[in-house]
Amino acid sequence: MTRESAAIGSIVGLAVGDALGYPHEFRTVAQVRRELGPEGITGFIRSKDERFTRPIIIGPDHPAGTFSDDTQMTIAVAEGLIAKGRASRDLLMGELGRRFVEWYFGPENNRAPGEATGVGCTNLRDGAPWRTAGKEGSKGCGANMRVAPIGLYFDDLELLADIARDQALLTHRHAAASAGSAAAALLVALARRGASPKAAHAEVTKRCAGESPDFDAVFSRLPSAVSRVPGEVLVALDTSPHALGEGWVAEEAVACALYCWWRHPRDFRACLLEAANTDGDSDSIACIAGGIAGAGVGIEGIPADWAREVEKSSMLHDLGRRLARAAASGGPPSTG
């Protein structure tokens, strides 16, 4: 598989996962299966499908295939890397921060991003340094659902993990948010290189262990969790000894996404449907899983109808192509 195929597959794949999970967010698996059928989400549907009862997602009734703020922020990261990926750390973070602010206060931000993202973007707009702009103590998954481009762009695993940690600080300042961001970017990079989920888990554990007790506690459950069914795993931590959580926070979102990829490493459709049909933060879990799985199977491994019908499909294909070319053509990044 070429680097270009992996990059396009990851960018399109995360958007597909995001779009599949978006209408499911805030609804339980039981509710969705009761209203849509026993298999729950099986493809793209409107965010306010007429079969749904409450809760109703805030905002417009987006058409089938619409992705959330997760993909919108990922696009900003990818464009920032294409523009300044080889610049110094300060210049790169400044570029990402500028793009986050432009998006957050622009007309495309109509998909209810999280509170910490709003705090960080407001602080950045008001001149806060990137290292202190993020909301202190926040470990929501908003910092790690957007890092797939970092795993696609950089080849040095230590470097890409550090850059993923740095970008978390723009909106979320918590050790678990930093560790989760590094883990999510590393998983994309490792999937692109053909690593198995088991090997990828071991590598991430080696590189991220000790940063956050919260992250370590959840991530250590994965090897035993993969043999258990989703109803025992993709649930709140206090409901099952095998649970990885509902994905609202960083460590849970990454662990849940890895669980789905571990169970279906070569079956993109099965991986994404498992990730999207969850009680918790369905769009973010499926977005992270889609970025990892898409990097592993390439664009050829994504169902053609999903790749074609997801929002802004042509732009996403082009973005992945441009990101791969930028990664391949650049030299080492500047220091500082």
Per-residue pLDDT tens over the stretch 10-60: 999 999 999 999 999 989 999 999 999 999 999 999 998 999 987 667 778
- In angstroms, the Cα distances linking 85 to 16, 93, 153, 156, 296 are 25, 10, 8, 13, 23
Q: What percent of the chain has pLDDT over 90?
A: 93
The answer to whether residue 140 sits within a structural domain is yes
In single-letter form, the type of residue at position 166 comes to D
Q: What sign for the dihedral angle of Cα 67, 71, 73, 78?
A: negative
The answer to whether residue 189 sits within a structural domain is yes
When divided into structural domains, the chain yields a total of: 1
Residue 56 pLDDT? 66
Residue 39 exposed, middle or buried by CB count within 10 Å (0-12, 13-18, 19+) = exposed
Token digits of residue 128: 């806060």
The answer to whether residue 61 sits within a structural domain is no
Residue 109 exposed, middle or buried by CB count within 10 Å (0-12, 13-18, 19+) = middle
Which residue range(s) make up the domain with 219?
3-38+66-329
Q: How many Å apart are CA 279 and CA 246, to the nearest integer?
A: 6
Q: How many Å apart are CA 316 and CA 124, to the nearest integer?
A: 27
- In angstroms, the Cα distances linking 124 to 110, 128, 130 are 20, 5, 7
What CATH code is carried by the domain that includes residue 158? 1.10.4080.10
The answer to whether residue 52 sits within a structural domain is no
The answer to whether residue 44 sits within a structural domain is no
Which ranges of 173-281 would DSSP assign to H, the alpha helix?
A: 175-192, 197-208, 213-219, 222-225, 230-233, 250-263, 268-276
pLDDT at 329 over 90: no
Contact between 275 and 284 (Cβ < 8 Å): no
Token digits of residue 242: 């095998």
The answer to whether residue 51 sits within a structural domain is no
Q: Which of 79, 173, 74, 87 is nearest to 130 (CA)?
A: 173
pLDDT at 318 over 80: yes
Q: How many Å apart are CA 166 and CA 162, to the nearest integer?
A: 6
The answer to whether residue 58 sits within a structural domain is no
Read off the pTM: 0.97
125: Cα separation from own chain's centroid: 24
For the segment 239-292, what is each residue's pLDDT rounded down to a tens digit?
999 999 999 999 999 999 999 999 999 999 999 999 999 999 999 999 999 999
Q: What percent of the chain has pLDDT over 70?
A: 97
For the segment 123-160, what is each residue's pLDDT rounded down to a tens digit?
999 999 999 999 999 999 999 999 999 999 999 999 99
The answer to whether residue 56 sits within a structural domain is no
Instruction: Indicate the average pLDDT of the chain.
Output: 96
